[in-house]
Structure 1
């Protein structure tokens, strides 16, 4: 259910969010995913999602100006611990953050430059185990020996990714009777870091076609001439 793909045209590119989510749900059921039973994202990334093992701590949000120096390579973090220890994360999301298969969590982690800091930022997507619906998206900025929560979105279904230095958040929209695998549309929002915070740059709304997979309409055969 990963979403998510700002700045790309509607159509099949927008369908990638939905397709990736369905694929991950299958991985969860089979328990064969090596990086957790979470779904994979779509679109361009500075670095793809990866479940990391190193420990990182959560701290209060802070604002600091981006630096001009190149960012160093990411230190892998324990994303599960990062989210669980973060007071900015809601109790509802923390309840969803539980092992799906064995000790595998439905968490996607991406590393990339978002805030202009000296180290790459950490993007965490938390998903449900059963159907891989995104329930929370968070961006952590390294400050000293701790990570600061500088962005959160907790209106499911939601999924985010890093696209050429921008934070791209996709929120799928379901109409009544839509299956989990078939939302009717989505809103894609691009955020950019400025003056110590993320600000919305632009958004797009994409309506999905309901013609795919629809049963063909039967055309009655003409009656023979008498």
Structure 2
């Protein structure tokens, strides 16, 4: 994101250039206020991180299944079906990367991965390849939602969802909460089935 500057009594609007990121670092419109004196403490200024090539990260990851890698192809042109978000989930020096691989036709999740920065590379510290799952950052935790289907459900109309919340503890993600929602019922959450 290009920086904005204002000098003198009249403020000129400058055009900001987007780098094509996920939008998590967009700062909104510039304010028409005087610019405060620059702070001598650089540690208080957020540093823009290098965007990660999520497709290369997934394809080079030996933990990712061959099926997901084979299906990870552009939907059109060079547009890959991946959603990428950045956040501090593991307490690392730089942001962790959450990657969801989706289908082109229905945008249904086929694999979700969390990569933790280690030096100049990234390590896979969490993954799920359960169909119709999607991982996202929820405050300081990782939330994984899995759509559930009955026999005659269409892809667009699942019967419900299972949600699991994970926190980082002792160098691993640990499940701390789980619940289920049946869309056909009154909407009351039920305990999620335990994983084997």
Please confirm whether the aligned pair reaches a TM-score higher than 0.5, indicating the same fold: yes
The Cα of 1:73 is off from its aligned counterpart by 4.5
Normalised TM-score (structure 2): 0.70
Could you tell me which residue of structure 2 aligns to residue 131 of structure 1?
106
State which structure, 1 or 2, has the greater radius of gyration over its C-alpha atoms. Answer: 2
Structure 1 Cα separation of the partners of residues 71 and 121 of structure 2: 24
Name the structure with the higher helix share: 1
Q: Are 1:185 and 2:164 an aligned pair?
A: no
- Across the aligned residues of Structure 1 and Structure 2, the Cα RMSD in angstroms comes to 2.3
- Contact 1:73/1:120 (8 A) holds in 2: no
Deviations 1:133-164 (A, max 9, x none): 10000000000011000000001111010011
Could you tell me which residue of structure 2 aligns to residue 172 of structure 1?
147
Q: Relative contact order (alpha carbons < 8 A, sep ≥ 6): 1 or 2 greater?
A: 1
What is the total number of aligned residue pairs between the two structures? 147
Structure 2 Cα separation of the partners of residues 140 and 75 of structure 1: 14
Deviations 1:61-119 (A, max 9, x none): xxxxxxxxxx9643210000000000010011111200001110000000001001111
Could you tell me which residue of structure 2 aligns to residue 196 of structure 1?
171
Structure 2 Cα separation of the partners of residues 165 and 72 of structure 1: 20
| Gap regions ≥5 residues in structure 2 | 1-19, 26-45, 187-196
- Superposition misfits of 4+ residues, deviation over 3 angstroms: 71-74
Aligned-partner SS, 1:100 = coil
- Contact 1:167/1:191 (8 A) holds in 2: yes
The Cα of 1:209 is off from its aligned counterpart by 2.9
